[in-house]
Amino acid sequence: VQLQASGGGLVQAGGSLRLSCAASGRTFTNYVMGWFRQAPGKEREFVARITWNWGTPYYADSVKGRFTISRDSAKNMVYLQMNSLTFEDTAVYYCAAARALRSDDSRDPRDYYVWGQGTQVTVSS
């Protein structure tokens, strides 16, 4: 199973980026696909997740209303559309896959057993 994240880059505050995660190696039926981020000196932080079957999204409060997670099951792709970016969004962004979550509102990265390599997002203020 492999996840390949892409789409990061340098953007000015207020701008937008769309991250992509290409999933391969198996079917992801019943999986939960998540995006996390990690800034220098900080712990890995939950950003958003989506259920593969139903496309049900769930967001961290810090990105709600600005970020949108989606998936294209036919292409085995997961996306993170990021709008109104701020300096605080600067981080390496990772996509990840989980078979199950420890709770309905879990944001725990330990739920995820497959991780992509990360893509750098830098927002200039």
Indicate if the pLDDT at residue 1 is higher than 90.
no
Indicate if the pLDDT at residue 117 is higher than 90.
yes
| Alpha carbons 63 and 86: distance in angstroms, whole number | 10
Estimate to the nearest angstrom the gap between the alpha carbon of 94 and the chain centroid: 6
pLDDT digit string, tens, across residues 9-67: 999 999 999 999 999 988 888 999 999 999 999 999 999 999 999 999 999 999 999 99
pLDDT digit string, tens, across residues 72-99: 999 999 999 999 999 999 999 999 999 9
Report whether 58 contacts 67 (CB < 8 A): no
